[in-house]
Structure 1
Amino acid sequence: MAGGMILMAVLVTVLPVASAMILHGTIQSISNGSRFWFLRGNMVWNILPPYLLGTTIVVSVFVFITVIPDPGLVLLLVGTFPWIARLVPRLGGLDIAKPSNAFACGVAVTLAQLLAGASGPLLDVFYLKSSLNRYQVVATKAFTQTLGHFIKLLYYGGIASIAVDVIDPLLTPGLLVGSISLAVIGTWLGTRVLDRVAENTFRDVTSKIILALSAACIARGAWELFV
């Protein structure tokens, strides 16, 4: 899941925001969709209703306002949130299995995806303290991320791009096909690694990766805002 943040950070340095969002959304939709397919038997479906309610509210607002934002501030906030979650016990107890938390996750993650493109650290905070095993975590996150990236793709590839006409000519079918192929291969290899990782190791390593990437988000957001 962390790869999405790295990819977004790279894309926004070489493409306009809307084009970066479209390419990122395409790659991540396929990557997460294939990950979900490989692990579909582990999906926790009862999380979806409150999550989708939160997602629907955010999407409705974005369709109404039709904006392509500067991702700097949101990257800063997304990067800060996981650190706060580890400093404040109450936030650290967030659990995606609780309906209220799933709703909050839908709102926060969809908002982050549409504003900054990536939401990895923010999403992971809702899973680290849950009772779900690593297969359930990865499968459920993959499904909701597939949905979120597909929504982002539709928004920036349709509504937003029509409004501002900023699709970059570098965004060619060949680039899309090549990127998607690499994403599927990488996802398949990742699921094989998951079989070899112990539960405690998975959570510990995931937590450290989240914090490292969050620091990168903070640095990137500060650069966008103040430099």
Structure 2
Amino acid sequence: MLFPVALALIVFATSVLSGVFGMAGGLVLLGALLALMPVAAAIAVHGAVQTVANGARAWFSRAYIDWRSLGYICAGIGIAAALLLALRYRPDLATVCIVIGLTPLLVWIPRRWLALDASRPLHGVLCGIVGGGLNLAVGVAGPSIDIFFIRTAIDRRRIIATKAAAQVVSHLAKVVFYGGLVQAMTGADWWLVLVAAPFAILGTQAGYLLLQRLTDQRFREWTRWIVSVIGIFYLGRGLTLLLGA
């Protein structure tokens, strides 16, 4: 009986984190799920919970969504999903952890090195391919989406809103992608999603309120450090699994 309570608290806390920074909470939540269930099942459950959390975040900030950029990103997500289906991709824990651990390096690339802008058609599609592909392959996209918003002329609220809407599509694709593969998913697993869903919405709303108090500069600074610490944890775990094998 303690497991549903613990999951609800984790989902609430990570949804608050994502509500403020847009991605860090998803990284933490996936880590908790990977410790409790098989990789594919963890990614599928994570996708279901994050669909609710990102859906709530997109709804609360719907007035700020850049619909044009969202369309480009969704096209890229569709391409990534088709490629992974064609390759018959299957995840393993060590690879998932190592890839997730390395993605935070992207937030430390100097802005002047990049000329990526998700509002441009080609860049938006590429954002969907890279971010959507990573989300499907390892469960989270992390900073791989952020690097496409560095040069966009929009503030933190439009960044969070557009990313949240794109992540709804990406996480739904993940649920469908792994739903047909996961034989270990029982009725109990999906009941856990239903239990966690309201806490995802509450946490997202709390995070959205905190976001309004954060400046653009603080938002970018804190995002870098938080995802980097999480990345170090994932990288260490992945290397331990790899060397242990």
Partners of 1:98 and 1:64 in 2: how far apart? Answer: 28
Name the aligned partner's letter for residue 68 of structure 2.
N
Gaps spanning 5+ residues in structure 1: where? none
Partners of 2:242 and 2:187 in 1: how far apart? Answer: 27
Name the aligned partner's letter for residue 218 of structure 1.
L
1:60 aligns with 2:87: no
Partners of 1:32 and 1:222 in 2: how far apart? Answer: 30
| Residue 172 (structure 2) aligns with | 150
| Residue 181 (structure 1) aligns with | 198
* Aligned-partner SS, 1:55: helix
Shift of 1:73: 2.4
Number of equivalenced pairs: 222
Q: Is the Cα contact below 8 Å between 1:128 and 1:207 reproduced in 2?
A: no
1:133 aligns with 2:155: yes
| Residue 118 (structure 1) aligns with | 140
| Residue 171 (structure 1) aligns with | 189
Q: Is the Cα contact below 8 Å between 2:99 and 2:138 reproduced in 1?
A: no
Partners of 2:64 and 2:151 in 1: how far apart? Answer: 18
Name the aligned partner's letter for residue 185 of structure 2.
I
Gaps spanning 5+ residues in structure 2: where? 1-22
* Aligned-partner SS, 1:167: coil
The percent of aligned pairs where both chains have the same amino acid is 29
Structure 1 residues 14-163: aligned runs within 5 Å = 14-84=36-106, 86-87=108-109, 91-158=113-180, 160-161=181-182
Q: 1:178 to 1:25 in 2, by over 3 A?
A: same
Q: Is the Cα contact below 8 Å between 1:18 and 1:167 reproduced in 2?
A: no
Residue range with higher mean Cα deviation, 211-220 or 3-12: 211-220
| Residue 234 (structure 2) aligns with | 217
Partners of 2:95 and 2:233 in 1: how far apart? Answer: 13
RMSD over aligned Cα, in angstroms? 2.2
State the TM-score, normalizing by the size of structure 1.
0.87
Residue range with higher mean Cα deviation, 11-20 or 85-94: 85-94
Q: Is the Cα contact below 8 Å between 2:111 and 2:150 reproduced in 1?
A: no
For each residue in 1:143-185, what CA deviation from the matched residue of structure 2 results, as whole angstroms up to 9, or x when unmatched?
A: 0011100110111112x23xxx232565141x12221111111
